[in-house]
Amino acid sequence: MSNKTILITGASSGVGLAAARQLAALGARLILVFRDPARGQASRDQIASLATGPEPIFISADLSSRQSIRDLAAVLHERFAHIDVLINNAGTASGTRELTADALEKTFATNHLGPFLLTNLVLDLIAPGGRVINTVSETHTGRMDFDNLQGERHYSFFSAYARSKAAEILFTYELARRLQGTGITANCFTPGPTASGFGKGTHGFIRVMSTLVQVIGRRPEVSARTAVYLAASPEMDGVTGQYFFHDRPARSKPVTYDTAIAARLWSVSEALTGASEHTAMEAIR
Ligand SMILES: NC(=O)c1ccc[n+]([C@@H]2O[C@H](COP(=O)([O-])OP(=O)(O)OC[C@H]3O[C@@H](n4cnc5c(N)ncnc54)[C@H](OP(=O)(O)O)[C@@H]3O)[C@@H](O)[C@H]2O)c1
């Protein structure tokens, strides 16, 4: 990993922090994207203390905000000639329906639209042989309801989260198809139930479930190994369009393999984010 540049989002806690620590120890040059500068600095220092390669670089961005993602992409283009691995790991789930500054439902905006926009805006920076890795979840819905993508009709913590993660899986597979022939791969993985910061700040039944995961879930260091495997393993050269669990390809729900739904979701996501997908795709061909 010593000559690899890896961008990872959501590295301030949980799976992202653990993955960043392991990749830093392997000598990768890390670009860490954090939302909160103070938390980010503390995590960056912790990751830096393990680095066997270059010092990690820290950039703040709110991945639920289109403008913030565009600003992040501009900084990346200014400062870096290329990125080898992009790990879209940041994720959230709102107990109640909240809207972002762009008037988008927050869980969908952060977990699907954020990775979609960021990936599209930096695709031209990803080197041939590069890898896009999305952190998804086994909790993904079995059907995509385009009339309720943002919980407009009915909203619950679980359905919003499951919908956003199914969207992220559909995005991964569609991206892999669109990247055929470019040498860039796209895969996703679920860390499985993990005792991370996820669900902190929730209430009631959701809080009970989060507390249970804190007790029975895997340690972030263990869950992060799949991210590290996907980012670093030579066995992953050329492997694309897969969903991984415990370093092994697994099957996601049937709806995520529906290419018509994936193409429709791509168009909807482009409209919601204003992503200039064609520019980025053309730039890498
Ligand atoms: N934990 C589980 O059981 C589990 C299971 C399956 C999948 N996952 C997935 O694993 C990924 C990592 O989650 P985790 O379990 O490690 O939880 P976590 O400890 O809560 O970490 C989530 C990370 O995402 C960041 N984040 C959230 N919203 C953001 C935003 N708007 N902009 C920028 N960063 C943002 C958080 O930053 P802050 O520190 O600023 O909040 C934090 O660094 C997520 O995609 C999650 O959906 C988790």
248-250/243-245 β-pairing: antiparallel
CA pair distance 32, 274, nearest whole angstrom: 24
Q: Which tens digit of pLDDT belongs to each residue from 70-86?
A: 999 999 999 999 999 99
- Top CATH class of 5-283 equals alpha beta
Evaluate: CB of 68 within 6 angstroms of ligand 1.
Answer: no
Ligand 1 probe mutation, 15, 31, 137, most atoms within 8 A of CB: 15
Q: Which tens digit of pLDDT belongs to each residue from 103-127?
A: 999 999 999 999 999 999 999 999 8
Q: Which atom of ligand 1 is nearest to the CA of 18?
A: 16
Distances (CA, A) of 6 to 22, 34, 56, 109, 166: 12, 14, 10, 23, 25
| pLDDT at residue 3 in the model | 87
| pLDDT at residue 177 in the model | 98
Sorted by where each begins, the domain ranges of the chain are 5-283
pTM passes above 0.85:
yes
CA pair distance 268, 251, nearest whole angstrom: 25
Which residues in 49-66 are b (16+ Cβ under 10 Å) and which e?
eebebeebbbbbbbbbbb
Catalytic residues: 161
Evaluate: CB of 90 within 6 angstroms of ligand 1.
Answer: yes
| pLDDT at residue 204 in the model | 80
Q: Which tens digit of pLDDT belongs to each residue from 163-221?
A: 999 999 999 999 999 999 999 999 999 999 999 988 777 778 788 888 888 889 999 99
CA of 248 to the centre of ligand 1 (A): 22
| pLDDT at residue 198 in the model | 85
Q: Residue of the nearest CA to atom 8 in ligand 1?
A: 137
CA pair distance 228, 59, nearest whole angstrom: 21
